[in-house]
Chains A and B, each alone.
Chain A
Amino acid sequence: MTAPTRPVPRETAPLRVVVDLNRCQGYAQCCYAAPGAFEVRGHEILFYDPAPPHARRGEIERAVQACPVRAISLQVEIGDAP
């Protein structure tokens, strides 16, 4: 949830996601929360989109919350690139 004092996100910029794959244990909860952005391949390889579209924000936040080992980091408000 965005606090009102935070800057308004640029709707067009993709989100930034990174998963700590040392922590990840392939519980696959992210895949159910955000099927377009996370996928388990084989027994336990996690493939994910590190730059999902802003429209997926709700799903990705669900994935962040649902991860049993809290391995997913998300940045929603992307500042200006240099």
Chain B
Amino acid sequence: MSIAETAGIVVVGASLAGLRGAEALRRNGYSGRLTVVGDEPYRPYDRPPLSKHVLSGELAPDATGLPELDTLDAQWRLGHAAVALDRAARTIRLANGTGLAYERLLIATGAQARPWPAASGGGLEGIFTLRGRDDAARLRTALAGGPARVLIVGAGLIGCEAASCCRDLGLPVTLVDPNPAPLARSLGTWIGSVVADCLRDAGVTFHAGAQVLRFAGDASGRVVRAHLADGRAVEADLVIVALGATRATDWLKGAGLMADAGGVTCDGACRVLGADGTPCPDIYAAGDVARWPNPLYGGRLMSVEHWGNAVAQAAHSGRNMLAPADDQRTYHHLPAFWSSQFGINIKAVGLSEGADAVAIVQGSRASRRFLAVYGRAGRSIAAVSFDQARWLPAYAEAITAGRAFPPIRDASDQGDYLALAPGFPPPRAASTLIEARHG
């Protein structure tokens, strides 16, 4: 027996995906050595509450530890990130210099917050990003200190949730985003403008179509204002940079895998592809970091940065890791996310990217309780509910089945709807890849 074989399975990423992957391995009968590596010193914890109830102070930052749903009997190697992968030697190297052999590897390293560049003021005190538990703890402490004005850069889901929390705390908030409406990338500007109304009603100052160029600090190195591209300045002593995330793949450089800031590319069974495009039989990926051809969208490569995908894909990869080569199942996934902000529950299914039409099919925009469907080339591709989650499964089913747009006629509470342009901003860069993201 070689060293690699006794090394067992290593899961890199003590994340939601890492945990659910490890559980799937045990559930599917794996009884060998199981090691979970994490860069943070914590067992896997849940992130969604961080930008909501942890910021508001209702939950302690260390309260969101995830339940372990199967007996893992795992070795936890926490506090030191994996920094390199040597496929030939079947080892990974950790930040503290130690090596770790593996027989099979599950990559679940997730993503990291996109920081503000140091050259334009990113190093100033009082500028925060929000991704991990420590980030949330630091930000919570700063918010509790009662800043004079909070500036949030980026009106994606995290930016809007943070804005909602800050208003609940009674803090003055300015939100800046280059798009005409909040959540423009996930929901389009037409639906996003409903959230813009919520922002306004909650007393958030929203600068749409604006860009922060740089931050300026005082003599002690604390941020005092932001300078916008249009010449305006926003005074703020606390800044939250919410510009989305990049996939944590730096450690895979030089490993000969198809990996970049958009993720690590896999085949349909979630096996990671080598640089030559052939799947590695001993390396799988799951969660935010995994980019795979999703059969539900014609095999387009996508990575999905949502909670439900981390859970489902990890379970899928864990199962495939133990299955023989001729029984590798393809991973089908309908992306879904939720967000709560300004007292409204927003839930979405499908991928709205590329939609050419949107229609409110139940409820009304005025009541802020509605269900909207997105269409592309006559097919239904996504749906979002504002406080109408009970109808969403019917639309999820229609989207999975590739039904025509709009998918359901003759529904109750359905007025004469109009299909309108959803108003998606142009893609960030010419690309055939899709990233379902919070940014």
Q: Judge A-B direct contact (beta carbons within 8 Å).
A: yes
Closest B residue to A73 by beta carbon equals: B67
SS class, residues of chain B in contact with chain A:
mixed
Which residues on the B side are within 8 Å of A51 (C-beta)?
A: 59-60, 63-65
Q: Is the CB of A41 within 8 A of B343?
A: yes
Q: Is the CB of A18 within 8 A of B66?
A: yes
- Is B331 an interface position by the 8 A CB rule? no
Q: Is the CB of A21 within 8 A of B78?
A: no
Closest A residue to B309 by beta carbon equals: A22
- Is B225 an interface position by the 8 A CB rule? no
CA distance A24 to B48 in the complex (A): 14
CA distance A51 to B60 in the complex (A): 9
Closest A residue to B72 by beta carbon equals: A79
CA distance A15 to B66 in the complex (A): 10
* Shortest Cβ gap from B198 to chain A (Å): 12
- Is B33 an interface position by the 8 A CB rule? no
Q: Mark A21-45, 1 if CB is under 8 A from B, else 0.
A: 1101110000000000000011111
Q: Is the CB of B43 within 8 A of A82?
A: yes
Which residues on the B side are within 8 Å of A47 (C-beta)?
A: 53, 58
SS class, residues of chain A in contact with chain B:
loop
Take A25-B389, A26-B389, A82-B43 as given contacts and tell me if A42 and B69 are in contact as well, using a CB distance cutoff of 8 Å: no
Q: Is the CB of B343 within 8 A of A42?
A: yes
Take A18-B46, A22-B308, A26-B389 as given contacts and tell me if A45 and B65 are in contact as well, using a CB distance cutoff of 8 Å: no
CA distance A45 to B340 in the complex (A): 7
How many chain-A residues does the 8 Å CB contact rule pick out? 26
- Is B251 an interface position by the 8 A CB rule? no
Q: Is the CB of A82 within 8 A of B76?
A: yes
Which residues on the A side are within 8 Å of B69 (C-beta)?
A: 73, 75
- Is B397 an interface position by the 8 A CB rule? no
B48: contacting residue among A21, A41, A82, CB under 8 A: A21
Q: Is the CB of A50 within 8 A of B387?
A: no
Closest B residue to A44 by beta carbon equals: B345
- Is B311 an interface position by the 8 A CB rule? yes
Q: Mark B80-109, 1 if CB is under 8 A from A, else 0.
A: 000000000000000000000000000000
B contact residues vs A (CB 8 Å cutoff): 41, 43, 46, 48-49, 53, 58-60, 63-69, 76, 78, 307-308, 311, 336-338, 340, 343-345, 347, 369, 387, 389-390
A contact residues vs B (CB 8 Å cutoff): 14-18, 20-22, 24-26, 41-45, 47, 49-51, 73-75, 79, 81-82
- Other A-B pairs beyond A42-B387, A44-B389, 20, CB < 8 Å: A14-B63, A16-B67, A16-B68, A18-B66, A18-B67, A20-B311, A21-B307, A22-B307, A22-B347, A25-B389, A26-B345, A26-B390, A43-B369, A43-B387, A44-B345, A45-B340, A45-B344, A51-B65, A75-B69, A81-B43
Q: Pick the 3 closest A-B CB pairs, nearest first.
A: A75-B67, A16-B67, A51-B63
